[in-house]
Amino acid sequence: MKLLNRLKKIMHILLATQKRKGFCLLIFIYFAVLIFVANNQWLYKTPIAKITEVHTEEKKTMEATRGEKEIYYKQSLRAIVLNGEWKGKSITLKNEYSYSGVLNQKYHKGDRVLVNVNGESQTGGIKGLKRDVHLTALIGALVILLIFITGRKGILTICTLVVNAGIFIVGFSRFLKDDDILGICNIMSVLFAVGTLLLLNGFNKRTLAAIVSTLCVLAAIMGIFDAVMAYEGALDYSTMEYLGSLDNPSELFRAEVMLAGLGAIMDVAVTISAALGEILHKNPQVTFFQLFRSGREIGYDIMGTMMNVLLFVFGCGLIPSFLIRMNNDIGFLTIVRLHIPYEICRFLIESIGIVLTIPISILVASLFMKLRFRPGGEK
Amino acid sequence: MIGILALILFILILVVGGDRGAVSVMALTGNIIILSLAVILLARGHSPILITLLAGGIISYITLVKQNGRNVKTGAAFLATAIVMLLLMFAIYSMVWASKSGGLNEIQAMQEDVMYYYSVDIHINMLHIAVCICLLSTLGAVLDTTLSITSSVYEVAAHKQDLSRQELYHSGLQIGKEIIGTTVNTLLFAYLGESILLFAYLKMGKFTFETILNSKFLFQDVAVMLFGGIACLLAVPAASICIAYFIRPENIVLSEQ
């Protein structure tokens, strides 16, 4: 009885306001979706099995690099198939993993795995872990935090993410049918910039200025990229990751360069044109030179940290291949020289883009907002 | 190619940024050196989590204090970053552990050099390395967010000195709302740009939707982006609380001298 009263009290506090009600509903939906995804094996064609029993034993010890010992383990697992032809049957699976786990992993009781079942012998092989639950959990957490912390703006942000992903999927499927990757990429960049900025900031002069400056910067960095490529000769793409059987790596690389920095460039352009718009709004008599100086002041503040954002996003993904190569007697500098020139090149071009955005967006924003009747596309 | 681009970047930073441009070149170089050192130490088999925490601390110090001076803004941003990163470390660790997404992904593992030439017995726990990658790649975005918020709240406080802590906290949240949208998009595009080749590869190969959805390559890349977004969102209230708590009228006078 006491517990019930307390529960009632908690519910009362939780549902006190409209906002809290909405938030509780959101959390409820989140967990409902998670439970659904965790049990969606009936949607799968691949058999899915739940591991019920695990036996782990040491198998062998290998000589590892740096004079260490690498222990290999053998796991024999029992699992119950959850869907398809063999639903409800118990199967045995085998798994092998090492301490490092570069190519393999340990499985635990309760894990759900995609398997291929081997007929009547009741054995099977593991194809991989069922990761859709984890993916949903992360996406859901991001969505809930966005709505909880930034409110209406968060919903707009989610809209931009969905719209951008949609543009990307449509553009990308065109991309591999047609051969005109560069044309599609140009259209995609324009759509990305216009869509994101309009959705996030609404239709006004500042947004227009930001869009125009983003596109100008994009044109400028691609110009620099092409000029340098023409001067130096094309890069050697043979050591690029995921190359496989692609026959047009240079075009794909150009598309990568174009898209990777777009977000950062938009970020800087929006910040500067919003700030300059605010200054002009407060003091319409401000001169061009004063505007330029304030814009530069804001630009300094964000330039360094934006380049850092890109440095860490691009740089950290390379760590695993660095570790493996360095432990196979390839020097740090050799890897830098031979294996990651594309990443370095991309980072440098995006950084050039960020720095160029500062003067260009100051120029465009002042032209747009100070001289009312001049079209801003001076490039 | 790289030499020319680096030269162009260097000149542009100096032309556009002047003295402070030179400082950011130095900070950027410092961060690259720390990141390289961290990779070298990791390759020698030192504890990944320890190295990550150390490298993260030094990088934050360089980016905040060396680049923007020692004052109440950078102090609050440093503390907020530390809080967010420590909180996030537990979330990332449990997520990476549960999804078993350490090591090389399926496509990297199929590459010729890994299959035939390299030994993969490197005695480094790749699960910890995955945690370290997630943490470090979000660090840049978190530093950006916390510094933007603390310096904006500082400006607000400098212009209007009679605001209470509560009001300062709310203005911090308000500023956070404005900047989060573009930050999340920055991360999205960095991720999309990085993965174009991967997507092209997937389209060429025969991968079913089920395989892709549950694959390690998708999860590893998307998790970095999603954790980046989550970290920036958490950084908004953290930075607002820190700066609202730290800021005092005498601080403002001091740092304006």
Residue in A374, A107, A361, A52 with CA at minimum distance from that of residue A216? A361
Q: At what angle do helices B165-204 and B126-159 cross, to 10 degrees?
A: 140
Q: Answer whether A344 sits within 8 Å of B2, measured CB to CB.
A: yes
Residues A108 and A240 both lie in one domain: no
What is the three-class DSSP state of A74? Answer: strand
Secondary structure of chain A: what % helix, strand, coil (to 5)? Answer: 65, 15, 20
Task: Compute CA distances B137 → A218, A311, B69, B92, B232, whole Å.
Answer: 24, 8, 24, 12, 12
Distance CA A291, CA A294 (A): 5
In this prediction, residue A45 carries a pLDDT of 86
In this prediction, residue A373 carries a pLDDT of 43
Nearest CB among A70, A130, A267 relative to B186 is that of A267
**pLDDT per residue as tens digits for the range A176-190:** 676 677 788 888 889
How many percent of chain A have pLDDT more than 90? 17
Distance CA A131, CA A373 (A): 55
In angstroms, the separation between the Cα of residue B192 and the nearest Cα of chain A is: 7
In a domain, A377, yes or no: no
Q: Locate B184 and state its tokens.
A: 């999340």
Task: Compute CA distances A85 → A40, A89, A92, A116, A125, whole Å.
Answer: 16, 9, 16, 11, 16
**pLDDT per residue as tens digits for the range A233-264:** 766 776 677 766 666 778 888 888 888 888 88
The answer to whether A362 touches B19, Cβ cutoff 8 Å, is no
Q: Answer whether B194 sits within 8 Å of A305, measured CB to CB.
A: no
Distance CA A109, CA A56 (A): 11
Residues A52 and A30 both lie in one domain: no
Distance CA A217, CA A224 (A): 10
Q: Could you tell me how many residues make up chain B?
A: 257
The answer to whether B150 faces chain A, any CB pair under 8 Å, is no
In angstroms, the separation between the Cα of residue B137 and the nearest Cα of chain A is: 5
In angstroms, the separation between the Cα of residue A118 and the nearest Cα of chain B is: 19
Distance CA B211, CA B226 (A): 20
Handedness of CA A202, A206, A209, A215 (dihedral sign): negative
A31 exposure class (CB count in 10 Å sphere: 0-12, 13-18, 19+): exposed
The answer to whether A71 faces chain B, any CB pair under 8 Å, is no
In a domain, A146, yes or no: no
Distance CA B256, CA A338 (A): 48
Residue B149 carries which side chain, given as an amino acid letter?
I
Distance of CA A119 to the CA centre of its chain: 40
Residues A271 and A126 both lie in one domain: no
In angstroms, what is the C-alpha Rg of chain A?
Answer: 27
In a domain, A143, yes or no: no
Every domain of chain B and the residues it spans: 69-256
Return the ∠ at Cα A253 (arms to A267 and B210), rounded to 5°: 85
In a domain, A103, yes or no: yes
Q: Locate B23 and state its tokens.
A: 């400082």
Task: Give residue for tokens 């092409």.
Answer: A226
* Minimum Cα–Cα distance from A177: chain B residue: B203
Residues A156 and A285 both lie in one domain: yes
CB-facing half-sphere around the CA of A239: CA atoms within 13 A: 15
Residues A243 and A271 both lie in one domain: yes
In angstroms, the separation between the Cα of residue B17 and the nearest Cα of chain A is: 6
Identify the H or E element spanning A127.
strand A123-129
**pLDDT per residue as tens digits for the range B47-89:** 899 999 999 999 999 988 888 888 888 999 999 999 999 999 9
Residues A34 and A51 both lie in one domain: no
Q: Which of residues 234-253 of B touch A (CB under 8 A)?
A: 234, 236-237
Identify the H or E element spanning A80.
strand A69-81
How many percent of chain A have pLDDT more than 70? 93
**pLDDT per residue as tens digits for the range A256-311:** 888 888 888 998 898 888 888 888 887 778 788 888 888 887 887 788 888 888 89
Nearest CB among B5, B44, B223 relative to A348 is that of B5
Mutate to test the interface with B, among A156, A305, A325 (most CBs of B within 10 A): A305
The answer to whether A38 faces chain B, any CB pair under 8 Å, is no
Structural domain containing residue A103: 43-133
Residues A9 and A51 both lie in one domain: no
Distance CA A249, CA A243 (A): 7
Residue B64 is given by DSSP the state: I
Say which residues have a Cβ less than 8 Å from residue B155's Cβ, sequence separation at least 6. Answer: none
In a domain, A138, yes or no: no
Q: Answer whether A304 sits within 8 Å of B35, measured CB to CB.
A: no
Residues A184 and A332 both lie in one domain: yes
**pLDDT per residue as tens digits for the range A148-186:** 888 888 888 899 999 998 998 888 877 767 667 778 888
Residues A294 and A165 both lie in one domain: yes
Q: Which of residues 6-35 of B touch A (CB under 8 A)?
A: 6, 8-9, 12-13, 16-17, 20-21, 23-24, 27-28, 31-32, 35
In this prediction, residue A232 carries a pLDDT of 76
The answer to whether A126 touches A93, Cβ cutoff 8 Å, is yes
| ipTM value greater than 0.85 | yes
Task: Compute CA distances A101 → A314, B49, B102, B125, whole Å.
Answer: 23, 17, 7, 7
Task: Determine how many CB atoms are found less than 10 A away from the CB of residue B191.
Answer: 21
- pLDDT tens track, chain B, 257 positions: 788 888 988 898 888 877 888 888 888 899 999 999 999 999 888 889 999 999 999 999 998 888 888 888 899 999 999 999 999 999 999 999 998 888 888 877 777 677 677 877 888 888 899 999 999 999 999 998 999 899 888 888 887 777 888 888 988 898 888 888 888 888 888 888 888 888 878 777 778 888 888 888 889 888 999 999 999 999 999 999 999 888 876 666 544 43
Distance CA A42, CA A52 (A): 19
Residues A297 and A248 both lie in one domain: yes
Residues A244 and A192 both lie in one domain: yes
Residues of B in contact with A138 (CB under 8 A): 95, 222-223, 226-227, 230
- The number of domains in chain A is 3
Distance CA A9, CA A105 (A): 46
In a domain, A20, yes or no: yes
In a domain, A358, yes or no: yes
In a domain, A145, yes or no: no
Q: Phi first, then psi: give them for residue A318, nearest 5 degrees.
A: -85, -10
Residues A261 and A342 both lie in one domain: yes
**pLDDT per residue as tens digits for the range A319-368:** 888 888 888 888 888 888 888 888 888 899 999 999 999 999 989 988 88
- List, in sequence order, every residue forming a beta bridge with A72; answer none if it has no partner: A60, A98
In this prediction, residue A144 carries a pLDDT of 92
The answer to whether A265 touches A211, Cβ cutoff 8 Å, is no
